[in-house]
Amino acid sequence: MNANVQKVQAYMPSRKVSSSALAGAISITVVWAVNNFAGTVIPGDVASALTTILSSLVAYLVPESA
């Protein structure tokens, strides 16, 4: 029974991976909101760069789960 629990936990993403993915989703949502409601347009290349930078920064700052 205990081996099955450990196997399932191995397939769960770490806190670092989950936080990085969430940061990417949030940054794209912010870009969408700015493009639709702020009266300015953020180019796709810039939006992609912002997402990459923010996701990488969050992944660097969040420690691995124990």
Residue 46 is encoded by which pair of tokens? Answer: 């810039």
The backbone torsions φ and ψ at residue 12, rounded to the nearest 5 degrees and listed phi first, read: -80, 140
User: What pLDDT does 5 receive?
Assistant: 58
Residue 56 is encoded by which pair of tokens? Answer: 């990488």
All structural domains of the chain with their residue ranges: 13-61
User: What pLDDT does 6 receive?
Assistant: 58
Token pair 């993915």 is at which residue?
Answer: 21
CA distance 62 to 21: 12
In sequence order, what DSSP letters do the residues of 16-31 get, joined into one string?
HHHHHHHHHHHHHHHH
pTM: 0.74
For the chain, list residues with pLDDT below 50: none
